[in-house]
Structure 1
Amino acid sequence: MPAVLFTNPAGQLSADPAGFLRATWGSQPRSSQDVKALFEQILLQLQRQQWSRILVSQIGMQPFTPADQQWIAHDWLPRAVQGGYRHGAVVVSADVLVRLATAYITTHVQGLPLTYRSFDNPADAVRWLERQPKSAG
């Protein structure tokens, strides 16, 4: 059973016993502060656990704002990779606006040692993630 590490209006972060983080985005309204706080907790926990893998569930998620997209792509992602982030399994939303916002972010990983895969099914995402190295080392 994953242990809850952090919760706010943006979503919840938990540690999976298999050695990866689970970031589950919420469906309620959230502020940019909430989004940034969740992402900063993700980075902190990646470093604390020395893990490189994240399972991201975007089912029911609200789209990122353009400002949040910019911050994630240009500020957070490079720091996360420096902190050990290497593999992201994203369970995608049916909402086309969420998919577009995510596509903007994932296209900005070029040149970074980071691999994203998108999934419709959480079980498929977990299976793929479990085949990836647990740590960046």
Structure 2
Amino acid sequence: MPVPAFVASEPSFQFGNAAGSVSLVPQEAYVRLNWTSQPSSAAIWRQLLEQALVQLEQKSWHKLLGDQRSLPVFSTENQAWILLDWFPRAVRSGLRYGAIVSPQNVMVRLEMAALIRELNTYPLTYQLFSDEAAAISWLAEQV
């Protein structure tokens, strides 16, 4: 039986809370951030993002996949925090590429599109995808 030329590695779970989970995908060298549909406090939401940042720093990786299909609406306070606090620290830690699997909720999708437009001030390349396989493929092409 022939062996497939490319076999995606299974994500390795690192952290989880009510907002979602953080996993590592070592074969492709990216951090995977999966969001749940549960509304979460700012502290829980931020804790998840902080854990993703810890993994990026520890591994010296520069790619992040955010599966936001279930992401609920988030506050303007959290939007400001991610833009003004988390992303600058993530960039200093080496983050360069992000693939986002688009939220199913249209309001959240609009929020994410606006957030990504704001990221143009950082040396980051972020793309929105409706399909997870396309997001993973694009991320694998980034070096």
Which interval holds the TM-score relative to the shorter structure? over 0.9
Residue in structure 2 matching 1:57, options 55, 67, 70: 67
Larger Rg: 2
Aligned counterpart, 1:81? 91
Q: Percent identity?
A: 39
Q: d(CA) in 2 for partners of 1:107 and 1:75? A: 17
Aligned AA for 2:111? A
SS in 1 for 2:121: coil
**Count of aligned pairs:** 133
What amino acid does structure 2 have at the position aligned with 1:99?
R
* In 1: Cα distance, 2:57 partner to 2:104 partner: 31
Cα deviation per residue 1:2-61 (whole Å; 9 max; x = unaligned)?
Answer: 110110011000001221011000011211001110111111110100000011011121
Q: Which residue matches 1:112?
A: 122
Hey, what does 1:100 align to over in structure 2?
110
Gaps of 5+ in 2: 1-9
User: Equivalent of 1:72, from 71, 79, 82?
Assistant: 82
Q: Which runs of 4+ in 1 moved over 6 A?
A: none
- What displacement does 1:94 show? 2.2
Pairwise CA RMSD of aligned residues?
A: 1.0
Q: Could you say which structure has the greater relative contact order, defined with CA pairs below 8 angstroms and 6 or more residues apart?
A: 1
1:20 aligns to 2:30 (yes or no): yes
Distance change in 2, residues 1:97/1:48 (3 Å): same
5+ residue gaps in structure 1?
Answer: none
Q: Deviations over 1:56-77 (max 9, x none)?
A: 0111210111100010011111
Normalising by structure 1, what TM-score? 0.93
C-alpha contact (below 8 Å) 1:14/1:22 kept by paired residues:
yes
Alignment of 1:5 onto 2:5: no
